[in-house]
Structure 1
Amino acid sequence: MSTRLEGKNALVTGATSNIGRAIAEAFAAVGAHVVVTGRSAGRGKEVVDGIRTRGGRADFLQADLDGSAAASQTLAQEATRVLGGRIDVLVNNAGIFPPNNTATADAKTFDQVYAVNVKAPFFLTAAVAPAMAEAGSGAIINLGSWIARLGIPISALYSSTKGAMETLTRAWAAEFGPQGVRVNAISPGVVLTPAPGEIHPGEVMMKGTPAGRMGTPDAIANAAVYLASDESAFVHGIVLDVDGGRTAVAVIAG
C-alpha cells in the first residue's frame, strides 16, 4: 500500500457513489483515515466495508447537506470527533445536477441547487478551514466542472454553481493560503462509470477531444490524491482540468 497520505485525516462529502466514492477509496488506499458522507446509510456502509476489507481506515457519517449552516457545522464537528480531533483534507464533492434548462428551472429548484452545490460547501469550509489555519496546514479540494467554462445549451443552473465553486477556490486560496491551507479545485470532464455494453450519450460530448472518450471516476480520484498530498505543496488556487482535453484542445480530424 502506498503511503502518500499516511497520517492524514480526510472528510469527503457525497462519497457514496461515483467521483466521491472513488476519491474516498483512493485516499484510503494511500494511507488516509477517511470519513465518508452521504444521505444513504446503506451505500455508505458498502463503501466503508469495502475500504476496510482492503486494509484501509474509513467511517461513515450520514449527512444531508441542505445548505444550512447548521447541517454543515454539525458534519464538521462529527467528522472532527470521528477523526480524533483533526481534519487535514476536505473534499467538497457533494452536489446535485437537475436535468433542466433556464426556462424550466423553477424558483424551488434554483434555491435547492444553490443550497446543495454552493451554500453547503461554503459553510462546511467555514467550519473546517479555521482549525486548519490554526494548525498551520491543510488541503481543501473543491469540485468544479468543465461546463462552468465551456458553455453547453443545457444545465445553465448547475454550470453557474460550479462557476461559483471555482471562484470560491481562488478566494479561499487567498484567504487561507497564508496560514498554510492550500485550496484547489478539480474540473472533471464527462465522467461516468459505464455499464457493460452501454453507449452513453456523454460519449458524444467527448468527440473531438484528445482523449476521445469519457473519463472514469478513478481519473478524478488520482488528481485528488495529488492535490491532497505534500507533492502539491506549492500549488494554490488552481482549477485542475481532468477532462480529456475538452476545454483546452480541439482535435482537427485529417
Structure 2
Amino acid sequence: LISMPSQSNLTSEIIPTRLEEGGRPVALELVARRPSGPGPFPTLVFNHGSTGSGTNPAVFRRTMACAPLADFFAERGWQVIFPQRRGRGKSGGLYDEGFKLDRSGYSCDPQLSLPGVDRAMEDLDAVMEHICARPDVQQEHLVIGGASRGGILAIAYAGERPSIFKAAINFNGGWLGRACPTHPEVNRKTFLRGSAFPRETLWLHGSHDQYYRIAHCRENFDAFRAAGGRGAFHALRGGHALIYRPQLWAATMADYLDAIA
C-alpha cells in the first residue's frame, strides 16, 4: 500500500486504546472511507503491509490506505477502515514487527519475525475493541482484509477471532518475501493460524508478484485448506500492487460480496 492520497474521500482519526508502552497509553490512527447515507454500514477492516525492506524509518510514518479499494466498497454501501498499527502513520508506539536485533531491517529469523505477527494481532485486538463499539458499524457485517503482510494477517486473525467476521480477504498475502530463505516456513505457519475460520475466505494473488511466487502462494492456500480452512484462490495477471487495479478483481470481489451477504 502507498501513502494516503491528499485529495480523497478518506478521513483520519486517532483513537485511544488499552495498549501501553513504557507505562504510557498508545493511541492508533484509523483512516476511514464512508459511503453516502446515515449508516450503520457493513464494514471492511483493511490492513496495510510492511515497508518493503524495513530499512527506512521515514517510511514508517506514511499513513497507508488505498483509495481505489475504498471507492469500490463505498460505491456498494460499505465503509472501509484502514488501521495504522503501532509506529505506523500517526499511530503512537514503536513499529516492531519482526526486525533484526539492531533494527537495520526486517529479520528472516523466524524467532524474530514470527513475534511480529503476534504484535500486529495485539494492535488489531485494540482496533477491533473500538470498531465493535462504533454506532456506524453493522456488527453482523464485519469483514477483515489486507494486502501483503496485511493479507496474511487478515487470514490469521480471522482464524484466531472466528466469531467476529463474516469473511476474510487476502490480497498478495505473506509475512516474508522470497528474499528470505525462511519465507516458506514463516508464511505457511502464519496462514495456518487462519484455518479455524469457519467461513469462506478470498485469496487474490498476482501471478507476477515480485515478492511471492504464485506457486508459493498456491502451496500456502493448499496447506490452509488441508488444515480445514475454507476459501477460493484466484491467480490474477498483476503484481504486488494488484490492489490498485480493481479492473482485475472487481468482478470476483462483487461475486464474493454477494455470496456472503
Tell me, yes or no, whether TM beats 0.5: no
Give the structure with the larger strand fraction. Answer: 2
Tell me: higher relative CO, structure 1 or 2? Use CA pairs within 8 A at least 6 residues apart. 1
Give the structure with the larger helix fraction. Answer: 1
- Shorter-chain TM-score category? 0.3 to 0.5
Which protein has the larger Cα radius of gyration, Structure 1 or Structure 2?
1
- TM-score computed with the length of structure 2 as normaliser: 0.42
